Amino acid sequence: MSVDGSASGTVAGGLDEPEELAPTPGSLELTGPGDQAAVADWEAAAAAVLRKARRLTADDPDSLVWDKLGRKTLDGITIPPLGTAAALDDLKTSGRPTRTGDWDIRAHLAGTDAKALNETALVDLDGGVTSLWLQVGADTDLATLLDGVLLDLAPVVLEAPSGAQAAIARAFLDVLGDTTPAPGTNLGGTDDDLVDVARLALERGVLGVVVDATRVHDRGASDVQELGWSMATAAAYLRRLTDAGIDLDEALGLFEFRYAATDEQFLSIAKLRAARRLWARVVELSGGAPIEQRQHVVTSRPMMSRYDPYVNMLRTTVAGFAAGVGGADSVTVLPFDAPLGSPEVLGRRVARNTSALLMAESHVAKVADPAGGAYAVEKLTDDLALAGWAELGRLEDDGFAALEQRIAETVDHRETEVAKRKRPITGLTEFPNLAEVLPERQPDGAFDGVRSYGASFEALRDEPAKAPVFLATLGTIASHTARATFAANLFAAGGIATEVAGATSGVDDLVAAYGGQRVVCLAGSDPTYAEWGSTAAAALREAGATHVIIAGKPVDGVDDSCAMGVDALDFLTRTREKLT
């Protein structure tokens, strides 16, 4: 198949090697305003700031700011520090959001207690939720769960275990009875039950297929891998449905796609726009009538943390904003306490109100495509679409098993960046609070199989070090505060408490404050280190310390050091070993 506009085959029948993703009819070409400031002026201003920060030398050209300030995504896509009209030269964009007005606020419910889930569902619906996503088991009593729910007004999307989906779908249809189902109702067919559930959906006039890309996102997949997987899975589902005798256009009308949105807002916005473009191309090459992609977007589970969970409110707000701006038809903002188990009243209320506030007070839904025309977003959309199409080609050629290795490589890459705190996680790798008491929640299985981005640090926090580190602060408070704060936060990220010497004027003060801890960490200014850092290390070792660390560049007499850019995970693991 050629993807430059001429199809030699259909997606339902097979894909040849992808070369280029062509724009769909009706796409817009963007040009920059004639009065935009010269790029050279911006380069000069940015370079001046970087020179003050010593990130550029006087001899470096101003144009080097693009390399210094740009960054690469996990997929290797470069995100420049400034969007310019030149980035859109010869670029045509498609996949723009088409939703008009408010998005559907979809609550997620998971568990086995049908009565408790019913009470939660009714509270959510009374509080502004407009649809329900039910993650249920094979034996869930749907009649009890849905008692009092107006199924002609509130769409229900089912998620059941593979092998039980058809039975759950039939049970739901029994509860539905003669009621006309609300538009958007989905029986949730996937995998083994796909064809049976699809036929039930066609008979009842509801949606019947969910392409749930959060499956790979939750395991650590990148944005491009998530896009490629969703298209490959959708193509595979189409083949199965049409091979079973279902008309292609009828099959296409059954689909809903589920994507994750993270707190990297521009990537999330561009991913949703790129997904529409990819789906339009798949539909075109399949020979189906054009149909808009229905998107259900969920705030990312892996980006959430079990520690300092209240920070999750900020993460999910940014992700929910990105979902709305990206044009999602339905948005699920997960409660801040969801990683801990079944969310309670406060978490669920904040979650549903996040969407309500974004729409009613911030008016995010008043414009169909708020990011439209933004140079950076348009370029990122195009980059993600092309990379996603290439990933689809690899999956068609190599199969889904080959994707697992690529996901593992992405996980390792992300883990390295988190370990070096290039991807900070507030409350976990940055500004942790060892004294916090986590709220208790009942397990509901909703996060089973999710690989948290901070999983390695959470594991350290789960088993706090039994002994503290002595923070040997050298000099006055003013001279040692910066490095002492850095070191204390670093140790806390690994579940290690610190005991601080306080202001000291020399070795005698330091030794007097020392409490016999096995591991000590010197914290002070460079001049203080040069004056008496080595002497302090020797004195503490003589007083009983067995492992001496310094916050900053190493000096004679120390065993280890920590500074900005250190592999925090490796350093903390080494330190914990010395503590035991």
The domain ranges of the chain are 38-83, 104-394, 463-579
Round the average pLDDT of the chain to a whole number and report it: 92
CA dihedral 58, 63, 64, 67 (to 10 degrees): 160
Helix, strand and coil percent figures for the chain, each rounded to 5: 45, 10, 40
Structure tokens at 434: 């060892």
* Nearest-angstrom CA–CA distance, 151 and 180: 8
What is each CA distance from 179 to 114, 141, 511, in whole angstroms? Answer: 21, 19, 79
pLDDT of residue 16: 42
pLDDT of residue 10: 45
Does position 236 have pLDDT exceeding 50, yes or no? Answer: yes
Residues of the chain above pLDDT 90, percent: 86
Does position 19 have pLDDT exceeding 90, yes or no? Answer: no
Q: Do domains 104-394 and 463-579 have the same CATH topology?
A: no
pLDDT of residue 40: 86
**Predicted confidence band of residue 112 (pLDDT cuts 50, 70, 90):** confident
Q: What is the pLDDT of residues 460-519, one digit of tens each?
A: 999 999 999 999 999 999 999 999 999 999 999 999 999 999 999 999 999 999 999 999
**Predicted confidence band of residue 240 (pLDDT cuts 50, 70, 90):** very high
Domain 463-579, architecture per CATH: 3-Layer(aba) Sandwich (3.40)
Strand positions, DSSP E, 57-130: 71-72, 78-79, 92-93, 104-110
- Model confidence, pTM: 0.91
Q: What is the pLDDT of residues 145-162, one digit of tens each?
A: 999 999 999 999 999 999
pLDDT of residue 315: 98
* Nearest-angstrom CA–CA distance, 365 and 542: 67
List, in order, residues 6 or more apart from 203 with CB less than 8 Å away: none
- Higher pLDDT residue, 350 or 374? 350
The arithmetic mean of pLDDT across residues 275-295, rounded, is: 96
Please, are residues 284 and 290 in contact by the beta-carbon 8 Å criterion? Answer: yes
pLDDT of residue 154: 98
* Nearest-angstrom CA–CA distance, 487 and 503: 16
CA dihedral 360, 366, 368, 369 (to 10 degrees): -90
Q: What is the pLDDT of residues 340-363, one digit of tens each?
A: 999 999 999 999 999 999 999 999
Residues of the chain above pLDDT 70, percent: 94
Please, are residues 308 and 432 in contact by the beta-carbon 8 Å criterion? Answer: yes
* Nearest-angstrom CA–CA distance, 358 and 370: 13
Please, are residues 261 and 323 in contact by the beta-carbon 8 Å criterion? Answer: yes
Structure tokens at 540: 């503490």
* Nearest-angstrom CA–CA distance, 543 and 2: 74
**Predicted confidence band of residue 288 (pLDDT cuts 50, 70, 90):** very high
List, in order, residues 6 or more apart from 47 with CB less than 8 Å away: 56, 60, 62, 64, 65
Q: Which residues lie across from 296 on neighbouring strands?
A: 258, 330
Q: What is the pLDDT of residues 219-232, one digit of tens each?
A: 999 999 999 999 99
CA triple 373-269-449, angle to 5 deg: 170
The arithmetic mean of pLDDT across residues 6-19, rounded, is: 42
pLDDT of residue 33: 52
* Nearest-angstrom CA–CA distance, 349 and 491: 35
Does position 30 have pLDDT exceeding 90, yes or no? Answer: no
Instruction: Return the closest-CA partner of residue 510 out of 487, 480, 490, 488.
Output: 480
List, in order, residues 6 or more apart from 384 with CB less than 8 Å away: 75, 77, 223, 224, 227, 267, 270, 271, 274
* Nearest-angstrom CA–CA distance, 117 and 143: 11
Q: What is the pLDDT of residues 528-558, one digit of tens each?
A: 999 999 999 999 999 999 999 999 998 888 9
Please, are residues 210 and 184 in contact by the beta-carbon 8 Å criterion? Answer: no
pLDDT of residue 21: 55
Structure tokens at 42: 């911006």
pLDDT of residue 210: 98
Element containing residue 335 per DSSP (H, E): none
Q: Which CATH number fits domain 104-394: 3.20.20.240, 3.40.50.720, 1.10.760.10, 3.40.800.10?
A: 3.20.20.240
Cα distance from N-terminal residue to C-terminal residue, the chain: 61
Q: What is the pLDDT of residues 37-87, one digit of tens each?
A: 688 889 999 999 999 999 999 999 999 999 999 999 999 999 999 888 888
Does position 411 have pLDDT exceeding 70, yes or no? Answer: yes
**Predicted confidence band of residue 445 (pLDDT cuts 50, 70, 90):** confident
The arithmetic mean of pLDDT across residues 427-449, rounded, is: 92
Does position 32 have pLDDT exceeding 60, yes or no? Answer: no
Instruction: Return the closest-CA partner of residue 96 out of 217, 212, 270.
Output: 270
pLDDT of residue 26: 39
Does position 25 have pLDDT exceeding 80, yes or no? Answer: no
The arithmetic mean of pLDDT across residues 391-397, rounded, is: 95
